[in-house]
């Protein structure tokens, strides 16, 4: 389990994880291979599940009752690479479990999709439809989207398309590609979406830097602008 594709579902936006799923894979000679069955498990928490969260992932309080507490979750000790769609969100969820992610090489398919398909929707489900040849098969998975187990398989399919698009051959190359893609040149969302970062109003840059959940790559890019 050197490399995992992982997804989390939370009790609320930026809440604690109540479902975690991952699947091991290899990337050798430009080919993504899923290695084992998906690990997918519910976890309990003290906090209530918000109705907004329920409407997204359909996890109910009785589903997590009696399950291990989310702080019991640990990644396999041999994990070196972690692939997630919107990795900042999943990393925060893992850190709330007490997982030390400081030495893990994180690969974000959301950042890579924004880099290589800049004019499309970057939601995992929309990308899945856009890139799939067998859209009926994707539809069956998407009917259960926002189940962490299904989302890791959608992410795996997206990762395969990224590998085909970029020609990257191995895990370290994929990691370096993701690192480069994590530093945006253009504002990825909001009222200034698509505008070059250096053209953003100073007040808007200050507003973004004041947000606790700003993407780490965007924060680094904006902080570099402020320091100039």
pTM of the model: 0.87
Average pLDDT on 57-84 reads 97
Structure tokens at 172: 């370290």
Count CB-CB contacts under 10 A for residue 61. Answer: 13
pLDDT of 36 reads 83
Average pLDDT on 150-179 reads 95
Beta-sheet strands, E only, within 60-131: 81-84, 105-108
The CA distance from 126 to 228, in Å, is: 37
pLDDT of 141 reads 80
CATH topology for the 3-182 domain: Nucleotidyltransferase; domain 5 (3.30.420)
**pLDDT confidence of 80, banded at 50, 70, 90?**
very high
Average pLDDT on 184-192 reads 89
Under 8 Å between Cβ of 5 and 159: yes
The CA distance from 26 to 83, in Å, is: 11
How far is the CA of 179 from the CAs of 174, 175, 186, 202, in angstroms?
Answer: 9, 6, 16, 26
- What residue spans in the chain does CATH classification 3.30.420.10 cover? 3-182
pLDDT of 120 reads 85
Residue 210 has pLDDT above 70, yes or no: yes
Residue 193 has pLDDT above 90, yes or no: no
DSSP state of 50: P
Residue 144 has pLDDT above 80, yes or no: no
The CA distance from 116 to 181, in Å, is: 9
Find residue 82's DSSP bridge partners.
4, 106
DSSP state of 71: G
Average pLDDT on 203-228 reads 92
Residue 12 has pLDDT above 90, yes or no: yes
HEC string of 164-212 equals: HHHCCCCHHHHHHHHHHHCCCCECCCCCCCCCEHHHCCHHHHHHHHCCC
pLDDT of 140 reads 83
- Nearest partner of 89 among 108, 74, 63, judged by Cα: 108
């Amino acid at each position: 389990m050197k490399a995992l594709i992982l997804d989390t579902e939370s009790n609320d936006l930026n809440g604690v994880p109540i479902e975690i799923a991952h699947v091991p894979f290899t990337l050798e000679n430009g080919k993504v291979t899923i290695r084992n069955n998906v690990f997918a498990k519910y976890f309990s928490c003290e906090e209530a599940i918000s109705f907004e969260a329920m409407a997204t992932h359909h996890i109910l309080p009785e589903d997590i009752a009696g399950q291990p507490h989310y702080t019991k979750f640990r990644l396999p000790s041999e994990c070196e690479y972690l692939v997630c769609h919107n990795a900042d969100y999943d990393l925060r969820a893992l850190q709330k479990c007490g997982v030390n992610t400081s030495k893990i090489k994180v690969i974000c398919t959301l950042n890579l999709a924004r880099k290589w398909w800049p004019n499309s929707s970057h939601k995992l489900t929309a990308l899945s439809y856009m890139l799939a040849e067998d859209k009926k098969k994707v539809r069956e998975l998407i009917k259960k989207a926002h189940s962490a187990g299904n989302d890791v398989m959608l992410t795996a399919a997206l990762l395969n398309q990224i590998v085909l698009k970029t020609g990257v051959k191995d895990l370290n190359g994929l990691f370096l590609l993701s690192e480069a893609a994590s530093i945006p040149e253009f504002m990825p969302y909001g009222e200034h979406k698509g505008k070059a970062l250096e053209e953003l109003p100073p007040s808007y840059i200050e507003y973004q830097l004041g947000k606790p959940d700003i993407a780490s790559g965007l924060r680094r890019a904006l902080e570099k602008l402020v320091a100039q």
